Amino acid sequence: MQPDVQLSFSDRFRQLRETRFGTFAPVLLALAAIWIYFGITEPAFLSPRNFYFLFMQSAVVGTLAVGITIVLLLGDIDLSVAATSGVCAALMAVLIAMAGVPGPLACLIAIALGIFLATLQGLLVAYVGIPSFVVTLAGLLGFQGLMLKILGTQGAINMRDPFVRGITTITLPAALGWGLAAACVLAFALASFRRQTQRRALGLELEANSTLYGQVIFFAVLAFAAVATLNSYRGIPLLVVLLIGLTALLGWVTTSTPFGRSLFAVGGNAESARRVGMNVKHIRVAAFGIVGMMAAIGGIVGASRYASVSFNAFAGGPLLLEAIGAAVIGGTSLFGGRGSVWNAILGALVIGSLGNGLDLSGASAADKLMFSGAILLLAVAIDAISRSGTSQTR
């Protein structure tokens, strides 16, 4: 017997988003549209060489976007993340170039500084009650000044340390790249089937087997195609492996741990989370600490990528807006309670691909800013419409 009521488009869209693949669908479609357009208009865009540098160029934005996603899940924001990244990179550069500190130790000190600065802001938000927008706006201004103080009168320090430079210059052997791709596909498949088993044990609605196998096959195609493309140029950059590893770790934290579930609960309704016994203040402080860690790592990656640390590269450019935009384009809600660190990486690729394609086509800086703003506005509009549709069905 056929149902007499057909699902509307909004209902079908909501059901798609509720599947594991559905959360990635909008940003994947946007990324595919950008690649197809520039692939037709600029043949060099789809070359292995261009993809290699596209991934490298998107790494700093992606690292910061993953961190920002953590506080956005709470419904907060961190406007100081790029400035924090710059301060940490500047301290690391000074320690290496002027104090003779070994590269690995200088990186650890920079990460500790990032965690400290962000945790301090989290304490002001959680315990003093100052809105995160105000606290991090003050941090943005203050940390920019601190970065200038650390860098000195020249405003830039060259980075020649082999350990730091190796983060973005080392590539993996082709065989190791294929092995990592196979391991990632296997891990994804095991995680998908384990999730299905857990849902069955809890009596929850299951995904169709065709959908489940389709997700695994789709992921396998993407993984092996990426490896084949990068291996045809220089190989998989070590930086890409490190970023995927960090994102996988934070993805596990946000989806499979009590702390991660608390992030979504507080972002959805902080008062309800408090009433069921969650320590909302501790959760907020911890979330800001994670952002500080990722900001410091982004600073280290930027110093390695640019072979220098300068004010304009971190605090004087569009890095902050691109990082926040990547998280939002990836589907993380500005209202809290919904998002994914994996989507933030895809959002960074959307912004990077758009900028890369416009550069190849000879577009001006003004055109790049306008296109980026339009995509960001569209992403927020989709988020608002989706939330409105969900609330009306309840």
Alpha helices in 73-173 (DSSP H): 81-97, 103-123, 132-151, 162-169
The CATH number of whichever domain residue 112 belongs to comes to 1.10.3470
Statement: residue 6 has pLDDT above 90 = no
Residues 300 and 248 in one domain: yes
Work out the average pLDDT over 201-230. Answer: 84
C-alpha 310/C-alpha 299 separation (Å) is: 11
User: Can you say whether residue 247 is alpha, beta or left, with left for phi > 0 and alpha for psi between -120 and 50 degrees?
Assistant: alpha
Q: What is the pLDDT of residue 1?
A: 40
Q: What is the pLDDT of residue 136?
A: 94
SS3 labels along 26-79: HHHHHHHHHHHHHHHHCHHHHCHHHHHHHHHHCHHHHHHHHHHHHHHCCCCCCC
Please measure the distance between the N-terminal and C-terminal CA atoms of the chain and give it in whole angstroms: 27
Q: Is residue 388 part of a domain?
A: no
Domain end (from 195, 213, 236): 236
Residue range of the domain that includes 113 = 21-170+237-382
Residues 255 and 140 in one domain: yes
Residues 241 and 296 in one domain: yes
Helix, strand and coil percent figures for the chain, each rounded to 5: 75, 0, 20
Q: Is residue 11 part of a domain?
A: no
Give Cβ neighbours of residue 197 (< 8 Å, ≥ 6 apart): none
Whole-number Cα distances in Å, 322 to 50, 86, 177, 325: 20, 15, 29, 5
Work out the average pLDDT over 153-182. Answer: 90
Statement: residue 202 has pLDDT above 50 = yes
User: Which sign does the torsion angle of CA 337, 28, 222, 225 carry?
Assistant: negative
Domain end (from 202, 220, 236): 236
Instruction: Read off the pLDDT of residues 235-282 as tens digits, 9 standing for 90 and up.
Output: 899 999 999 999 999 999 988 888 988 998 888 888 888 888 888 899
**Which of residues 304 and 338 earns the better pLDDT score?**
304
Domains in the chain, number: 2
Q: Is residue 210 part of a domain?
A: yes
Percent of the residues in the chain that have a pLDDT greater than 70, as a whole number? 90
Q: What is the pLDDT of residue 389?
A: 53
Residues 340 and 296 in one domain: yes
Statement: residue 394 has pLDDT above 70 = no
Locate 105 and state its tokens: 């130790």
Work out the average pLDDT over 82-105. Answer: 93
Q: What is the pLDDT of residue 19?
A: 45
Residues 186 and 293 in one domain: no
Statement: residue 10 has pLDDT above 50 = no
Statement: residue 4 has pLDDT above 60 = no
Statement: residue 116 has pLDDT above 80 = yes
Q: Is residue 9 part of a domain?
A: no
Work out the average pLDDT over 365-393. Answer: 67
Q: What is the pLDDT of residue 318?
A: 81
Domain end (from 215, 236, 257): 236
303-307-310 Cα angle (round to 5): 60
Q: Using 50, 70 and 90 to split pLDDT, how confident is the model at 18?
A: very low
**Which of residues 139 and 394 earns the better pLDDT score?**
139
Residues 45 and 98 in one domain: yes
Q: Is residue 128 part of a domain?
A: yes
Instruction: Read off the pLDDT of residues 21-39 as tens digits, 9 standing for 90 and up.
Output: 556 777 888 888 889 989 8
Residues 154 and 104 in one domain: yes
What is the crossing angle of helices 365-393 and 9-18, to 10°? Answer: 100
Residues 276 and 188 in one domain: no
Q: Using 50, 70 and 90 to split pLDDT, how confident is the model at 312?
A: confident
Residues 27 and 50 in one domain: yes
Residues 40 and 57 in one domain: yes
Statement: residue 75 has pLDDT above 80 = yes
Work out the average pLDDT over 329-340. Answer: 81
Statement: residue 324 has pLDDT above 80 = yes
Instruction: Give the chain's mean pLDDT.
Output: 85
Statement: residue 14 has pLDDT above 60 = no
Statement: residue 199 has pLDDT above 50 = yes
Residues 180 and 284 in one domain: no
C-alpha 76/C-alpha 68 separation (Å) is: 9
Tell me which DSSP letter residue 257 carries: S
Q: Is residue 243 part of a domain?
A: yes
Q: Is residue 2 part of a domain?
A: no
Residues 158 and 298 in one domain: yes
Work out the average pLDDT over 302-310. Answer: 90
H helix or E strand, kind and range, residue 344: helix 341-360
Residue type (1 letter), 117: L
Q: Is residue 15 part of a domain?
A: no
Q: What is the pLDDT of residue 5?
A: 40
Statement: residue 206 has pLDDT above 90 = no
SS3 of residue 172 by DSSP: coil
